[in-house]
Amino acid sequence: MGFLDSLKGLFGGAGTASSGGYYIYVRCNRCGEALQTRVNLQNDLSESDAGGYMVNKTLVGSGRCFERIEVHLEFNPARQLVSREISGGEFITAQEYDQYWAQSGSPAPRVTR
């Protein structure tokens, strides 16, 4: 163990706790399909009028219906979620998302991480 090893410990490898990803899980109002998307807190956010950040995401299901689910998220300057709105669907939890796909018999579509 030397100087280089401690540098590595400082900058590399040890976990990805701050990878900056925020996952959104929604259910389509029309067909009930559960969808997932990821917001990259480093790249996807735009500055909002309120002095924080915001992002708009559009989710479309796997082809069963063509409902577009619009999600609007607001973040404070520390990039913490402060409010969220949705149209065309409703927010669900990661657990509900997994349950939906566990019952559907087909593999859940995963977003690229």
CA angle at 35 for the pair 31 and 39, rounded to the nearest 5°: 145
> Which of these segments, 11-19, 54-62, 76-84, 92-100, binds Zn ion (CB under 5 A)?
54-62
Under the binding rule (CB under 5 A), the answer on residue 45 touching Zn ion is no
The count of residues in the chain is: 113
Contact indicator for 36, 61 with CB cutoff of 8 Å: no
Shortest Å, Cβ 88 to Zn ion: 8
Closest CB to Zn ion among residues 33, 52: 33
Shortest Å, Cβ 1 to Zn ion: 55
Closest CB to Zn ion among residues 26, 39: 26
Burial class (CB within 10 angstroms; exposed 0-12, middle 13-18, buried 19+) of 61 = buried
Under the binding rule (CB under 5 A), the answer on residue 30 touching Zn ion is yes
Query: Partners of 34 in the beta sheet?
Result: 27
From candidates 31, 50, 108, 111, binder to Zn ion by CB under 5 A: 31
User: In the range 58-97, which residues lie near Zn ion by CB under 5 A?
Assistant: 61, 65, 67
> Which of these segments, 14-22, 25-33, 35-43, 102-110, binds Zn ion (CB under 5 A)?
25-33
